[in-house]
Structure 1
Amino acid sequence: MATQTEREADLRTRFGDVLTLTDLAVVLRYSSVGAIRKSNSRGQLPVQLVKMTGRRGWFATAEAVAEYLASLEEARKQSNQPD
C-alpha cells in the first residue's frame, strides 16, 4: 500500500497543493460538493477545510487529505490483526 508521502505526492501531482471541494468529493468519493458541504457543516467531514485569502470557497490541503487516507489504511491494518 502507498505511504502517506506517496499519497501526498500523488494528490499534489493530480490536484496541486490545495484541493477544491470538487476535487475533495472525487478523492473521498462523496456524491457531490453539496454532500461535502453538508458533512462539513455537521462537523463530520474527516478533513479540515481552510479559507484562502483572496479566494472564494473552501479548500483542503493535499497533506491533510493524504494524512486522512493513510489513517484509514492504518485502521484497516489494525482491525485485521488477530488478538
Structure 2
Amino acid sequence: MEGGSNFIPAASTSELEALQKEHEVKTLRIQELKRQIESTKLCLEKKKKEIPEEQMESFKTLSKKYESLREEYNALLAEKSRVSEK
C-alpha cells in the first residue's frame, strides 16, 4: 500500500463483504441473546419472589387447617370428658 494506493482486488473485496456480513449477523445474534438473557433473568427473579409468597400462602392454609382440627379435637375431648364425668 505504498504511495497511498487504496486498491483492493475484487476477490479481497468480496471476502471483506462476506466477513462484514458475517460480523453483522453475529452482532445481531449477540444483541438478541443479550435481550433473551435479560428477559430470562427478569423471569427468574419474578419466579424467585413468587415462590416464597406461594409457600407463605400454603403455610397459612395449613396453619388454618391445623387450628381448625385442633379446635375440633379439643371440643371433642372436652365433650368426651364431660360425658365421662357424668
Report if TM-score (shorter chain) is over 0.5: no
Q: TM-score, normalised by structure 1?
A: 0.29
Q: Which structure's residues are more often helix, by fraction?
A: 2
Question: Rg: which structure is higher?
Answer: 2
- Structure having greater relative contact order (Cα 8 Å, sep ≥ 6): 1
